[in-house]
Amino acid sequence: MFNYFLRSLSATLSYLWSGWGAIASLLLFCAAWELAGLYYGSLILPGPVETLKQLGTLFDQGELLPELLISARRALYGLLLALAAGTFLGMLAGFSVTASILSRPLVTLFLGMPPIAWLVLAMLWFGLGDATPVFTVFIACLPIVFAGAMQGTRTLDNQLKAVADVYGLPPLMRLTDVYLPHLASYVFPAWITALGTSWKVVVMAELLSSSDGVGAALAVTRAQLDTSGTLAWVVAVLAALLATEYLLLEPIKRHVERWRQEENA
Amino acid sequence: MSMKQLKVDNLFHKYGIVEVLNNISLSVSSGQTLALVGPSGCGKSTLLHIIAGLLTHSEGHLEQPFEQLACMFQSPRLLPWKTALDNIALGLKARKISRLERQQRAIELAGQLGLTRDDLDKYPHELSGGMQSRVALARALLVSPELLLLDEPFSALDIGLKLELYQLLRRHVEEHGTTVIMITHDLMEAVRLADSILMMAPEPGRILAEFPMAQPHALRDDNWIYRTSVELMQQPLVRLGFQLDGVGINHEDMPQPVAHGGCAP
Ligand SMILES: Nc1ncnc2c1ncn2[C@@H]1O[C@H](COP(=O)(O)OP(=O)(O)OP(=O)(O)O)[C@@H](O)[C@H]1O
Ligand SMILES: [Mg+2]
């Protein structure tokens, strides 16, 4: 037990340590941004400091959080629907050779379809309510999750299935002890990609179809030619994305995949 | 206890159109140990998988009356996402034995196999090849099967460990009345452990000869084992099966082994 504790402690520390690299590279990027800002002037490209100040103002005015929450809610609904449907359908397709052969070109097709095309269709179908961004997020994330789940199911190891047969694993245990752990290593990366996509798509959808949310706020700053406001919103969106990925999903992924060989440390 | 008997009658097996097993007949009574020997590729593992119910044979008859069976495969086939301990306890978990009890039993057995408590907390990729195969053996023994199928169980171990595990296996077999079918490349191992040795030959896989070992296990000292192994090696059918007289390979043309100069600089 103590051993286990030590292992998780060292895993946590090494994760935190790897964060320094990420922070250093972000700071480097900010420096380059600052330089470019000095060169072009703050009207065209406000530097990071000015952008952060603007962000602070937005926060103080009580605009930032409500708008972020509205966008986050829409992205989350679309994403959750896509995760549930995509994982389930992908697993089903993966279990059948025919279904996976049939669905491969469809996945390529759906992945290649630009989200903006879906957005236009969604606006025609659902009008200007919440449903439009939620649907666009859903349909943009679905093929990513579907492909991951199908791939994971297709690569299930026949040798391990034989082990499950010989030792008489009941169906539920087969699922939890053999299929899902394998599947998770394919599905988690797909989920993380889908999360990024959902954020990007929700902002784009709101920009064109909503009167609230971050996308709508961006539309306002654009109309007012407010570059620093635009950048402030962009930074807010990116910060929210990085925070969910590195503070929530990545630690979960590490925990779930702690049995993996550390080849990408 | 009624005498159960595993019977294979005139069994054939094809992979696609390639015949790998040709007219196999054998029988093993409960409590007996049968060793399968033969050159690489002669269909030993295939036969074992058919008996385990993992493969369906093309023709012939198989009567497998034993209910609890366990199989140790030629490769360890451990679940990479489970620790060594949980891998060993897999079969007990499938039988809904409580976590505490199955872990206690697994730890005890693992100790007899020379695995330390530390090793048991590791994931398979952190174990040496020999440890992995001992974990696989423990997983098979822990369910106390009526029929135990072993595919080259000791091939990854050093001589000291082998001798220990031979004793362990014999003790287990005698205590539980286990019926064993084991594959080995080591004639001496077969002579030591088996009640009967089946010599197989390749292309297509068939049985060349059966050598019953009437000597009681208690009376099998090293002397007897060496003598019997040498006698077996002189049998024409054994020489034929292993192609010892140079069918296919011309031994005169083989390069002489280079003397090893030692590892120290
Ligand atoms: N899944 C498979 N599909 C097609 N051919 C196979 C398959 N598995 C084994 N074979 C073929 O069947 C033959 C017997 O294989 P098998 O694994 O039973 O040999 P073996 O006696 O266990 O050999 P070894 O001592 O090297 O383990 C080989 O010629 C092999 O190429
Ligand atoms: Mg084999």
pLDDT of B1 over the 60 cut? no
- Asked whether the beta carbons of residue A163 and residue B79 sit closer than 8 angstroms, the reply is yes
Tracing tokens 């409500």 back to the chain, one arrives at A66
Which chain A positions have a beta carbon within 8 Å of B94's beta carbon?
167-170, 173
Q: What is the pLDDT of residue B264?
A: 47
Question: A17 vs A69, which has greater pLDDT?
Answer: A69
Q: What is the pLDDT of residue A186?
A: 83
Q: Summarize the confidence of residues A239-255 as an average pLDDT.
A: 81
Asked if A167 contacts A177 with a C-beta cutoff of 8 angstroms, the reply is no
The end-to-end CA distance of chain A, in Å, is: 25
Nearest CA in chain A to B84: A259
Q: What is the number of domains present in chain B?
A: 1
Nearest CA in chain A to B75: A159
User: Does residue B61 form part of some domain?
Assistant: yes
User: Does residue B173 form part of some domain?
Assistant: yes
Confidence of residue A244 (pLDDT cuts 50, 70, 90): confident
Q: What is the pLDDT of residue B211?
A: 84
User: Does residue B176 form part of some domain?
Assistant: yes
Question: What is the CATH number for B193?
Answer: 3.40.50.300
pLDDT tens for residues B12-33? 888 888 888 888 888 898 889 9
User: Does residue B244 form part of some domain?
Assistant: no
Atom of ligand 1 nearest to the CA of B185: 25
Of A24-33, A134-143, A194-203, B215-224, least confident by mean pLDDT is: B215-224
pLDDT of B120 over the 80 cut? yes
Q: 3-state class of A44 per DSSP?
A: coil
pLDDT of A29 over the 70 cut? yes
pLDDT of A8 over the 80 cut? no
Q: What is the distance between the alpha carbons of residues A195 and A237, in angstroms, rounded to a whole number?
A: 12
Distance between A101 CA and the closest CA of chain B, angstroms: 23
Q: 3-state class of B122 per DSSP?
A: coil
Distance between A53 CA and the closest CA of chain B, angstroms: 47
Q: What is the distance between the alpha carbons of residues B78 and B86, in angstroms, rounded to a whole number?
A: 10
Tell me how many residue pairs between chain A and chain B have CB atoms under 8 A apart.
57
Asked if A162 contacts B53 with a C-beta cutoff of 8 angstroms, the reply is no
- Asked whether the beta carbons of residue A168 and residue B91 sit closer than 8 angstroms, the reply is yes
pLDDT of B254 over the 70 cut? no
Asked if B88 contacts B109 with a C-beta cutoff of 8 angstroms, the reply is yes
Q: Summarize the confidence of residues B95-111 as an average pLDDT.
A: 87
**Which of A5-14, B177-186, B201-210, B250-259 shows the highest mean pLDDT?**
B177-186
Q: Summarize the confidence of residues A27-31 as an average pLDDT.
A: 88
Domain coordinates in residue numbering, chain A? 1-45, 65-264
Query: Which residue out of B81, B87, B90, B120 would a mutagenesis test of the A interface target, given it has the greatest number of A Cβ atoms within 10 Å?
Result: B81
Q: What is the pLDDT of residue B247?
A: 55
Closest CA to B107 of B96, B94, B92, B95: B92
- Asked whether the beta carbons of residue A177 and residue B79 sit closer than 8 angstroms, the reply is yes
User: Does residue B139 form part of some domain?
Assistant: yes
Task: Calculate the average pLDDT of chain A.
Answer: 84
Distance between B68 CA and the closest CA of chain A, angstroms: 9
DSSP state of A57: H
Q: What is the pLDDT of residue A138?
A: 93
pLDDT of B261 over the 70 cut? no
Confidence of residue B250 (pLDDT cuts 50, 70, 90): very low
Query: B56 — contact with chain A (CB < 8 Å)?
Result: no
Closest CA to A169 of B96, B224, B252, B254: B96
Q: What is the pLDDT of residue A141?
A: 92
pLDDT of A28 over the 60 cut? yes
Listed residues: CB within 5 A of ion ligand 2: B 45, 74
pLDDT tens for residues B141-179? 998 898 999 998 888 888 888 888 888 898 889 888 899
- Measure CB to CB from residue A259 to each of B73, B80, B91 and give the nearest one: B80
Q: What is the pLDDT of residue A107?
A: 87
**Ligand nearest B185 Cα, by number?**
1
Nearest CA in chain A to B54: A162
Q: What is the pLDDT of residue B88?
A: 93
Report which protein residue has its CA nearest ligand 1's atom 6: B15
Confidence of residue B252 (pLDDT cuts 50, 70, 90): very low
User: Does residue B250 form part of some domain?
Assistant: no
pLDDT of B183 over the 90 cut? yes
Tell how strand B196-201 and strand B206-212 pair up.
antiparallel
Report which protein residue has its CA nearest ligand 1's atom 10: B15
- Kindly provide the ipTM of the predicted complex, given to two decimals: 0.80
CATH architecture of structural domain A65-264: Orthogonal Bundle (1.10)
Nearest CA in chain A to B92: A167
**Ligand nearest B200 Cα, by number?**
1
Q: Summarize the confidence of residues A240-251 as an average pLDDT.
A: 82
Q: What is the pLDDT of residue B259?
A: 52
Q: What is the pLDDT of residue B182?
A: 93
pLDDT of B40 over the 80 cut? yes
Task: Calculate the average pLDDT of chain B.
Answer: 84
Q: What is the pLDDT of residue A79?
A: 92
- Measure CB to CB from residue A166 to each of B70, B82, B125 and give the nearest one: B70
Q: What is the pLDDT of residue B253?
A: 44
Residue B183 structural domain? 5-19+39-219
**Ligand nearest B40 Cα, by number?**
1
Atom of ligand 1 nearest to the CA of B49: 18
User: Does residue B261 form part of some domain?
Assistant: no
User: Does residue B235 form part of some domain?
Assistant: no
**Which of A38-52, A74-88, A97-111, B95-109 shows the highest mean pLDDT?**
A74-88
Which chain B positions have a beta carbon within 8 Å of A165's beta carbon?
53-54
CA of B43 to the centre of ligand 1 (A): 5
pLDDT of B10 over the 50 cut? yes
pLDDT of A15 over the 60 cut? yes
Number of H helices, E strands in chain B: 10, 9
Confidence of residue A4 (pLDDT cuts 50, 70, 90): low
* Torsion angles phi and psi, residue A18, rounded to 5: -65, -20
Atom of ligand 1 nearest to the CA of B46: 18
Query: B50 — contact with chain A (CB < 8 Å)?
Result: no
Residue % of chain A over a pLDDT of 70: 97
Q: What is the pLDDT of residue A137?
A: 92
Give the distance from CA B98 to its chain's centroid: 30
Q: What is the pLDDT of residue A139?
A: 92
